[in-house]
A and B are shown apart, each in its own frame.
Chain A
Amino acid sequence: AEDTGVRVELAEEDHGRKSTIALRLWVEDPKKLKGKPKDNGAIEFTFDLERETPDDVAQEMIDSGFFHESDMKIVAKSIRDRVALIQWRRERIWPVLQ
């Protein structure tokens, strides 16, 4: 995946059974963002693979003041890339469950 400067990782082990997963997001390289992020914290949140989109979460992070509006796309892309990887991995490791 492209290096967006925003890192997203699983916050818990994925067993492929739940549609909701816990993710953790943090800024690795603030210079890649247009606006100034709120702080240096890691933001943990849950994401429903079946019902939600990365854009929804990115917008909520902006609404909550974590990121500037101009960074909506970069945050959404970072989440989207990680979610795509999780789904790809699920399909390979647990195809029967999917």
Chain B
Amino acid sequence: SSLTQVVHSAGRRFIVSPVPESRLRES
């Protein structure tokens, strides 16, 4: 799976990963 890491200038790290289809609400 692909992970993206974003570090804010204040130092907090955000790690972004794909949301499993089962966790997404159907519209």
Instruction: From known contacts A41-B4, A42-B17, infer whether A29 and B12 are also in contact, taking CB-CB under 8 Å.
Output: no
Residues of A within 8 A of B12 (CB): 45-46, 57, 60
* B residues lining the A interface (CB < 8 Å): 4, 6, 8-10, 12-19, 23-25, 27
Instruction: From known contacts A28-B25, A29-B27, infer whether A42 and B8 are also in contact, taking CB-CB under 8 Å.
Output: no
Residues of A within 8 A of B10 (CB): 60
* A residues lining the B interface (CB < 8 Å): 7, 26, 28-29, 31, 39-46, 57, 60-61, 63-66
Whether B14 pairs with A63 at a CB distance below 8 angstroms is: no
Q: What are 28 of the A-B contact pairs (CB < 8 Å)?
A: A7-B23, A26-B23, A28-B23, A29-B25, A29-B27, A31-B27, A40-B18, A40-B19, A41-B4, A41-B16, A42-B16, A42-B19, A43-B16, A44-B14, A44-B15, A45-B12, A45-B13, A45-B14, A45-B15, A46-B12, A46-B13, A57-B12, A60-B12, A63-B8, A64-B6, A64-B14, A66-B6, A66-B14
